[in-house]
Copies of this chain bind each other. A is one copy, B any other.
Amino acid sequence: MTLSMHTRICDLFGIRYPLVLAGMAGIANMAPLVSAVSAAGGLGTLGAAYLKPDEIRAVVRDIRQLTDRPFAVNLFAPGKPDDYENFDIVNRQLDGIRRSLGVPHPAQGEIRTPDLFERQFDVLLEEQVRILSLTFGLLPERHSQRAKAAGMRVIATATTVDEAIQAEQAGCDAVVAQGSEAGGHRGTFDTTLRRMGTNIGTMALVPQTADAVHIPVIAAGGLMDGRGLAASLILGASGVQMGTRFLTSVESGAHPAYKRALLGSTEESTVLTDAFSGRPARGIRNAFISEWEAGGLDPLPFPTQNTLTRDIRSAAARQNDPEHMALWAGQGTRLLTEHLAAAEIVRQTIEEARRLLG
């Protein structure tokens, strides 16, 4: 049997190669990277979860200026409202870090996470975005029906076989099987009983998920090159999603200090932490994480902790201080390259996978 680069997700999304750019929320100026991956034959994904509806509209239009190829937009599934239990103690705990960066102490009244989902979703329909990817859960039934009626394809993110089965039963068109190697937030639907997510390794998660669902499975987590793509297809996936790999590409809007930290990191550099957002995510251990852990507190639940630490992360970025930014990264960072265009990463990955699969 010879595995082809033309898989089910190529037909499903109208793309040439089974390679999806992860939707990386919080990275600046995503249009060049998203459009470059799509133009090269993959599926670019705009990580729009933190963008205001009008910002999404603007970036979607920017991407369309740059390519006429399909792309996706990633949102967080709607979650819980802000939770201020223990707010004062957590807020005070962050003051040490704030002082070192010159960030003022906020009052509780200043920390309000806007509930963007309804309007974000409306904008995707208004702009006729064709592919929506979801993290942290599934679409509410009403939104699922509206997406279907609009002919939108929906990709869910699963970190267990059961989550993938739930996604299939909810009518999702494809599911990302996100292994423990992955950088950034875990897609785990419910972290109340699993504070650090489920953390099933990609090698174990992909074949078990592929056996359990009929919709295409997109492997994610630690995949960095044609070896990872070919291995994922062998395991039963219909494609791969790569995030970290593109963060050091020419078109990436990642902060220069973040890029340097990625290029200087190894498979041992990252930890799982909920210190930044209240939800578990994999990032390079830095002073923020260590200082937070030394305090011994639980963070506020997502999204409140995320909103509470935003000023700190923004100040760190302005001050080129990677020790207080969220340096999301997977476990494959020895394989990162510098100065490569995203299209070249796509081309090399596909060519290497083709060669390996003979």
Contact = CB atoms under 8 A, between A and B. Distances in A.
A317 interface: no
A3 interface: yes
B230 A234 contact: yes
A77 interface: no
What is the predominant secondary structure among interface residues of chain A facing chain B? loop
A236 B226 CA distance: 11
A267 B201 CA distance: 9
A77 B92 CA distance: 47
With a 10 A CB-CB cut-off, give which of A232, A235, A355 has the most chain B CB atoms.
A235
Interface in A211-256: 211-212, 221-225, 227-228, 230-232, 234-236
B198 A201 contact: no
Interface residues of A, number: 46
A334 interface: yes
A200 B235 contact: no
Nearest to A212: B334
8 contacts: A3-B358, A161-B334, A204-B224, A204-B330, A204-B332, A207-B225, A207-B332, A231-B235
Given A198-B268, A207-B225, 15 more contacts: A1-B358, A3-B356, A162-B268, A198-B267, A200-B267, A201-B221, A203-B228, A204-B222, A208-B267, A208-B332, A211-B335, A227-B236, A228-B235, A234-B234, A357-B357
